[in-house]
Structure formats: C-alpha cells, structure tokens
C-alpha cells in the first residue's frame, strides 16, 4: 500500500511540475482573498512539516494553521499531497537560486553555507521532498530547472558542456543533501555539511579540470 501511495504521489508531482509553476498553480486566483488564503495554506504546510511528517498532518490541521475555513482548503487543493506539490514547485525555484552560485564558483564557501543553511532551516520539508516517495520526481525537476537556468548563464567558452557539468554537479549536491537529511539532526552541523559539499564538489571540479588539461 505504501509503495502504491508513493507511486501515486510521484506521478502527481511529475504531472504538476510538467504543467504548472508557482505563478500558474491552481491557488493563484485573481481574487485577492483567494491569493491570500492560498499563500496562508502554503505557509501553514511549511510550518507543519517542520513539526512532523506529511503522513501525520491532516487537512483540518493545515486549515487551522493557515487560519482559513476547512472548506476553503478544497477550493485551492483537492488533497494535502496536491498542496505539497504546490509548495515543492516554489521550494525548487528557491533551491535552484541558491545552487547556481555553487555551479558558477565552485570555490565559494559562502555559497555552500547558504545552501546548507537553507536546507537545514526547512529540514522536514526537504527530507520529505528528497527522501520520500516523490524524491525521484523532485530530483528530475530540480535538474531540469537547473539546466535551463545554467544554460542561460553559461560561459561562452568551457572545457565541458554546460549540460553535463550541471548534471554532475546537481546530482552530487542532491546525493549529499539526501544523505545528510537521513542522518539524525544532531549528527552533522550545518557548517560540517557545507564543508562536505564544498570539498566534494570542488574536488570533482578540480579533477575534471586536470583531466581536461592532460
């Protein structure tokens, strides 16, 4: 049953990512009150995910946390999983924004620290997104957006195709973050996680450069 639910969640997320963006999501209505309630629901989901996993969160809790009527929830989203899809689309854009400086300048300590800090501040959410049933769809979407944005910012001359560089770097970052999120919260500090990201990604970049020059 859990595997079936995971597949359904992944399929729904894929479909949502393929056809919508945060600005095009169903909750983005023209009525100012609807826009406000939609934003409140997304913020409520983020706060609740910081306290407990999605499986333990009910629609009534989300509505109460958002300060909206129970029926209002269903005018925006058919299920709590659909709301998570909406939240995920927005969070992916935020994570990509933080990842791009890492792609641009592999030696920047501040970029890795900002990335690790953001993920830690939303640890429950990103644990759900990167290690839960929708993890595969999340990774694919994160890579897709990263490739699109990286292509727009790519240098005119590079020893490695930007698409390949983005695939390697984003995949490595996602694997490190996923591993970190599976550890107990107290096992590794944000600074330690950032250091691991920095050294592994930088090591990969240096190795590639040396091989290209050989």
Q: Provide the CATH number for the domain around residue 58.
A: 1.10.10.60
107 pLDDT band, cuts 50/70/90, is low
Q: Are residues 116 and 75 in the same domain?
A: no
pTM for this model (two decimals): 0.65
The answer to whether the CB of 112 falls within 8 A of the CB of 172 is no
Q: Are residues 72 and 92 in the same domain?
A: no
50 pLDDT band, cuts 50/70/90, is confident
Domain that holds residue 187: 88-213
Which spans in the chain are helix H? 2-19, 32-49, 59-66, 70-76, 80-104, 109-121, 123-131, 135-153, 162-182, 190-213
- Please state, in angstroms and rounded to a whole number, the distance separating the CA atoms of residues 96 and 102: 10
Residue 7 has pLDDT above 60, yes or no: no
Q: pLDDT tens digits for 165-197?
A: 788 888 888 899 999 999 998 899 999 999 998
Q: Tell me the HSE value of 89 on the side-chain side, using a 13 A CA sphere.
A: 22
Q: Are residues 49 and 123 in the same domain?
A: no
- Please state, in angstroms and rounded to a whole number, the distance separating the CA atoms of residues 130 and 161: 26
- Please state, in angstroms and rounded to a whole number, the distance separating the CA atoms of residues 50 and 56: 12
The last residue of one of the domains, among 49, 66, 82, is: 82
């Amino acid at each position: 049953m859990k595997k079936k639910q995971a597949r359904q969640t992944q399929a729904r997320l894929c479909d949502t990512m393929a056809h919508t963006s945060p600005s095009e999501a169903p909750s983005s209505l023209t009525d100012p009150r609807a826009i406000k309630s939609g934003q409140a629901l997304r913020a409520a989901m983020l706060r609740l995910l910081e306290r407990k996993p999605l499986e333990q969160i009910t629609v009534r809790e989300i509505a109460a946390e958002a300060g909206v009527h129970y029926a209002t929830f269903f005018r925006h989203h058919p299920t709590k999983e659909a709301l998570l899809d909406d939240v995920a689309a927005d969070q992916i854009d935020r994570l990509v924004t933080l990842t791009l400086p890492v792609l641009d300048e592999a030696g920047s300590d501040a970029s890795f620290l900002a990335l690790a800090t953001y993920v830690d501040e939303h640890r429950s959410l990103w644990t759900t997104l990167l290690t839960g049933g929708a993890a595969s769809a999340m990774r694919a979407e994160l890579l897709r957006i990263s490739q699109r944005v990286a292509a727009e910012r790519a240098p005119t001359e590079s020893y490695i195709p930007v698409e390949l560089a983005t695939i390697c770097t984003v995949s490595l970052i996602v694997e490190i973050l996923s591993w970190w999120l599976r550890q107990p919260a107290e096992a590794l500090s944000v600074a330690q996680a950032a250091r691991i990201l920095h050294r592994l990604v930088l090591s990969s970049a240096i190795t590639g450069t040396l091989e290209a020059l050989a």
